[in-house]
Amino acid sequence: MRHICMIFTSASSPEVDGKMPHLMCRADDIGQIVLLPGDPGRVAVFADLMEDFRLVSSNREYTVGTGTFRGVTITICSTGIGAPSTEIAVAQLIALGTKALIRIGGTGAIQENIPCGSMILNTGAMRQGGTSGFYAPPEYPAIASFEVVDCLKRACEDLQQKYTVGICASIGSFYHGQGRALPFEKDYDAAAVIDHYRKLRVINMEMEAETIFTLAALNGVLSGSICSVHCNRITDQWLVDNASEQKQMCRTALLGAWYLWRDYLSKSLEG
């Protein structure tokens, strides 16, 4: 069997046939605003919410689709779970020319006044995902862009969608890092972990926002996050089936992205 050795002169990931190696997309496949769900299955939801929606690629945890909403081209790109896979998606999307990245997904609230089915707009994130530490020191904040928060807030209000604005903890652990026992553990003090974050006025826990906020800020790209609350871990309320809430979150994110294009991005490009 013949083996071929490829030597690259750049430290960056090589393109494959002009496409990014993981997303398998070219620049002309991607809109200037990209919505980032974790779940690849959520990309298909947008086929009913957008015009001219098409599946661009599907490779590993990355499924990419692009369509238009009120005449604005918007891309949906799944990131998989957690910081390392999110880093790959964000880095390659920035390389392809995107100007705004908005995390969309589900989250668990840890303040008792936040109801299930409502939306959380994170203005900032505790950087505990792990990956962003390779790009910036711990003192560097992970902050959402004002422009994105403003547009998502207006979208929630226009759609009469309840929302809470505040800081999340982005954590590179699903179990102990977020106060969950391992599936086989009998004795575990989950309350101690959750109480730690509650005392810091953190309103929810998730796994991707800080990576998006940090890498976007370092590269001059706008960023934000909107998540549907599927559980409140303090009141122990859970949505067994949150498909309708997730779809409403997707609608809200699209409207927010449209506002972002109309009121901020289009004007900055004209200037």
The 10s digit of each residue's pLDDT in 156-208 is 999 999 999 999 999 999 999 998 999 999 888 888 999 999 999 999 999 99
> 124 in a domain, yes or no?
yes
Q: Are 120 and 166 in contact (CB under 8 A)?
A: yes
Residue 79 CA: distances (Å) to CA of 59, 111, 148, 158, 216? 11, 27, 19, 28, 15
pTM exceeding the 0.85 threshold for the entire prediction = yes
For the chain, percent of residues with pLDDT exceeding 90: 87
> 245 in a domain, yes or no?
yes
Q: Are 114 and 203 in contact (CB under 8 A)?
A: yes
> 111 in a domain, yes or no?
yes
Identity of the residue numbered 95: A
At 241 the pLDDT is 86
Return d(Cα 179, Cα 195) in angstroms, integer.
9
For the chain, percent of residues with pLDDT exceeding 70: 93
The 10s digit of each residue's pLDDT in 143-157 is 999 999 999 999 999
- CATH number of the domain that residue 85 is part of: 3.40.50.1580
> 19 in a domain, yes or no?
no
Q: Taking CA 130 as the corner, what is the angle to CA 106 and CA 77, rounded to the nearest 5 degrees?
A: 45
> 12 in a domain, yes or no?
no
The model's confidence at residue 9, banded by pLDDT at 50, 70 and 90, is: very low
The whole-chain average pLDDT of the chain stands at: 92
Which domain, by its residues, includes 84? 27-178+186-270
Return d(Cα 138, Cα 32) in angstroms, integer.
29
Return d(Cα 84, Cα 172) in angstroms, integer.
9
Give every CB contact of residue 89 below 8 A, 6+ residues apart in sequence. Answer: 22, 23, 36, 62, 77, 78, 79, 80
Q: Is 133 helix (H, G, I), strand (E, B) or coil?
A: helix
Number of structural domains (the chain) is 1
Average the pLDDT over 88-99 and give the result: 97
> 219 in a domain, yes or no?
yes
Helix axes 209-218, 83-96, angle to 10 degrees: 30
Q: Are 107 and 168 in contact (CB under 8 A)?
A: yes
Output Rg (C-alpha) for the chain, integer angstroms.
19
